[in-house]
Amino acid sequence: MTSIASSATAVPRRRRPLTALTLGVAGLLLATACSAGGSEEGASSSAGEGASSSTAPEQSSAATEGAGQGDPAALEGVSLTVAEDGTPSVDVGGGVETDQTTTRVLDAGEEPTLDHGSIARLHFLTADPTTGDVQAESFTQDPQTVILDDQLKQANPEMYELLTGVGVGGQIAAYVPSQEIPAPAAPSASEGASASTTNVPAQLFVYSVAERLPTVAQGEEVAERDERLPEVTVQDDRPVIATPEGEAPEALVVQPLIQGEGREVTVEDTVTVHYTGVTWSDGSTFDSSWERGAPTTFPLSGVIAGWSEGLEGQKVGSRVLISIPSEQAYGEQGTPTGDLKNEDLLFVVDILDAQAPAPQN
């Protein structure tokens, strides 16, 4: 297995942009990790590295309204209302009173529910748990994409469990009590000075499942094909590239197989895809998100040139076959592990989502 990240940059893939949603998830992760000894070890592995999805995940059951962890009864008075213009408001009743990190399902949502491998688009807000005043929110912006995969399960098991079983329209709340954390030491502090602490106020997070995205391409099949490229068939709902024959094209070739109806992808986007990569020389598979059991997300600017150029201008929902000459793949250098040197490659890619960079404040 290898990464599709550019060998020149050797950057780990990013699951989602650093937006308010990420900060909200990180805040919950920080609190639960401190209280339960959680770890983020392995959460930043590159696509295809160390993947060993040899066992199928268990089928999740539907979430139950009122269920949660910690002290769910303390969030019984919390409710979310969204105005016609998308502006959210939160009612906390008499305020949240508990000293435990707590989650609660406010609304279980509708079928189908989220399970392992699902791609969810979420709205998010943070609010004052005493007054309900909204401090930050994404409801008036585009929802953010989250994949319920092994990375989320390892890096943030609380968030993974919180989303699993919730349906579209579902709402979940998470409360993090106030914390005392060590404050950075002043540069001029003398040795032996007692460490100071900073109080982090309690926070209330509310998440709403706006959409569950398809995990396969959706659109009209393209009849016209480039005869230089191998056939792609579908087996067990997965596209499979036939063993290539003849010489690989000298230039990049992008062959749409299914034409989606979503927006066009730009090189600035962060994309969520399912894919399989094989070598032109013998058709052997060297990387596959389908084999790992969940889609993957990465910034299109951080991958090999053949991917960036091949996916630019394609529409979300499409399936494309990309033939990449070695100079637009890993070239003479190969991958960071030394594989795929001077290899011409083939990828079949389902484009499931694309998100523009988060606005800079």
User: How much is the pLDDT for 194?
Assistant: 57
Q: Does residue 82 fall inside a structural domain? A: yes
CATH of the domain at 104: 3.10.50.40
Q: Is there a single domain that holds both residue 304 and residue 208?
A: no
Cα–Cα distances in angstroms (integers) from residue 335 to residues 2, 10, 81, 343, in the given order:
7, 8, 49, 11
Domain co-membership, 193 together with 267: no
- Please indicate, yes or no, if residue 16 is contained in any of the structural domains: no
Distance from C-alpha of 175 to C-alpha of 334, rounded to nearest angstrom: 47
State the residue range of the domain holding 320.
220-355
More confident residue, 48 or 177: 177
Tokens in use for 90?
A: 């939160």
State pLDDT tens for residues 299-343.
Answer: 999 999 999 999 999 999 999 999 999 999 999 999 988 899 999
More confident residue, 338 or 5: 338
State whether 173 and 289 are in the same domain: no
Does the reported pTM lie above 0.95? no
**Does 197 share its domain with 264?**
no
pLDDT tier at 197, thresholds 50, 70, 90: confident
The last residue of one of the domains, among 196, 212, 228, is 212
Residues 67 and 133 reside in one and the same domain:
yes
231 & 187 share domain: no
Please determine, for residue 57, whether its predicted confidence score (pLDDT) is greater than 60: no
Among candidate residues 212, 239, 274, the one where a domain is terminated: 212
* Span 152-165, pLDDT tens digits: 899 888 888 889 99
Q: Are residues 147 and 244 in the same domain?
A: no
Nearest to 275, CA basis, from 242, 238, 244: 238
Mean pLDDT, range 158-173, rounded to an integer: 92
Contact, 115 vs 149, CB < 8 A? Answer: no
Q: Do 67 and 86 sit in the same domain of this protein?
A: yes
Give 191's contacts (C-beta < 8 A, 6+ positions apart): none
* Token pair in block for residue 330: 């890993």
Pair (340, 292) in one structural domain: yes
Same domain for 122 and 235, yes or no, is: no
Determine the pLDDT at residue 48: 32
C-alpha gyration radius of the chain: 23
Residue 282 lies in a domain: yes
- For the segment 246-275, what is each residue's pLDDT rounded down to a tens digit? 999 999 999 999 999 999 999 999 999 999
Judgement on whether residues 205 and 258 belong to the same structural domain of the protein: no
Average pLDDT of the residues of the chain: 83
Whether the predicted pLDDT of 24 surpasses 50: no
Q: Does any domain span residue 284?
A: yes
Question: 125-155, pLDDT tens digit by residue?
Answer: 999 999 999 999 999 998 989 999 988 899 8
Contact call for residues 353 and 338 (beta carbons, < 8 A) = no
Q: Within 13 A of 217's CA, how many CA atoms are on the CB side?
A: 24
The answer as to whether 21 is a domain residue is: no
Q: How far apart are CA 269 and CA 143, in angstroms?
A: 14
| Pair (226, 204) in one structural domain | no
**How many structural domains does the chain have?**
2
Q: In this predicted structure, what is the pLDDT of residue 45?
A: 31
Q: Which of 179, 212, 245 is the last residue of a domain?
A: 212
